[in-house]
Structure formats: C-alpha cells, structure tokens
Amino acid sequence: MIAIKRIRDFLIDVIYPEEAVCLVCGAVVQSGCVCNQCRAELRREDTDVWKYRNLDGVPAFSLRAHRGPARALVLALKHQADACAANELAALLHPIPGLLTLTPETVVTWVTMPARRRRERGIDHGKLLAEAFARELGFPCRQLLTRRNDRSQTQASLARQDRQANLRSSYAPKTGIDFPVLLVDDVLTTGTTALRCVDALQRGGAKDITVITATYAIGKKHTIK
C-alpha cells in the first residue's frame, strides 16, 4: 500500500503542477489546494460550525466536525505536512463567535510533538496549524511546551481510559508564562491531551488559556449559536 501511494503521489507531481489537485476530492484546481465545491462545503452554515466545550473550566472551541472536507484537510496536514491544508483550516476562523474573546496580548502555541515522531515525519504538523491560526488572528506564535516523555504512544491508538495514563507528565512549560495563551490542536476527542497541555501551561504561570481545534469528534454537544 505504501508503494502504491508513493507511485500515485509521484504521478500527480509529474502530471500536475504543485498544489493543482484538491486535497479533499482530488479534482484539478486552478489555484490553491481546495476546489470551489469542497471549499463551499467547508463553509456551510450548519450545525457542524463552531462547537464549544468546557474542559474543567477552560473554554475549548472547535471549527468543524471531524468528517467530510474538514477531516480530509486535517489528515492531509497530519500525514502529509501540507501547509496549504493548515491555511484552509485557519480561514474557517472567521467569523469568530462572540463567545470567543481573545485579548491583544494573546500568544498562540501548539501541542508539541515528540522529537522521535517529528524526526520521522520531518515536520511538526501542530506547529504548522498554530502558525496558520496565528497569522489569521494576528497574534504571535511561540513554542511554550516541551515533551518530557518521548516514548508515549499515539493517542489515536489507545482506548479512552488509557489516554490519561499515556500523557501523564508528558508536557512541561518551556518558559515562564505571564500572558494569555491560545492552545491550538487538530482534533478534540476526549479532551485529555488538551487538559494535560493546559496543566503544563498553568504550571508555567498561565492563568488565561483558551483551546481551539480544527475539528471535534462527532457526537460531542454544545453548539455555539
């Protein structure tokens, strides 16, 4: 399967110029990386738009449900390190709901990837997403977290009850934090990863933390009107 995918990607690169194929449906596009039809689907005003969860007192917002074009973009970002996918997801931040308030002093950060996994993939997709969100919102983006445990398993491979143990003591603050923080991640599932990062940010001194993810696991409630 890996060999077939590499051959397919090579043929696409040869036949079409860079970013000439929609990351969602594979259709040829004249510019960008998403076709007009998929972009329109992404921006539909329906119940999948902007979800809110309270994570032990920390507000958490998600742009779209983890399905359809939004899911395809997250996967392209996560497994292909496609910066264009990050930009398309960041564009969904507008219009920002009134419930989400961010002060001018806010600094954007991300869920830091283990060094081993970053070496394997060649890039930190979380950083790409955070940088895209920061540009869209006009805030600085800095790494505020480090990973203590480089041997932790991937969260997606674990049952819900095992995720908390896997992430125990995984994150630590990289520096002192005396400013509001916007923590960016790709998918909000149980909230375990976000809460561990929030705990580390708080140990670094952060008192005002907001979480935004590109997508949320289907079935979660709390729609923002």
pLDDT tens across the length of the chain (225 residues)? 445 545 555 544 544 455 588 999 999 998 889 999 999 999 987 778 899 999 999 999 999 999 999 999 999 998 888 899 999 999 999 999 989 999 999 999 999 988 777 777 767 899 999 999 999 999 999 999 998 765 545 555 555 555 555 555 689 999 999 999 999 999 999 999 999 999 999 999 999 999 999 999 986 555 554
Output DSSP code: residue 223: B
Sheet with 58-65, side-by-side order of all strands: 51-55, 58-65, 209-216, 181-188, 107-110
User: Does residue 73 sit in the same domain as residue 146?
Assistant: yes
pLDDT tens digits, one per residue of 136-152:
999 999 999 998 765 54
Minimal CA–CA distance to 184: which of 82, 95, 113, 121?
A: 113
pLDDT tens digits, one per residue of 19-55:
588 999 999 998 889 999 999 999 987 778 899 999 9
Q: Give the integer Cα–Cα distance in Å for 68 and 103.
A: 32
User: Does residue 126 sit in the same domain as residue 183?
Assistant: yes
pTM score, two decimals?
0.82
Domain membership of residue 26 as a residue range: 1-42
With respect to residue 194, please indicate whether it lies within any of the assigned structural domains.
yes
User: Does residue 36 sit in the same domain as residue 51?
Assistant: no
What does residue 108 show for φ and ψ, rounded to 5 degrees? -90, 140
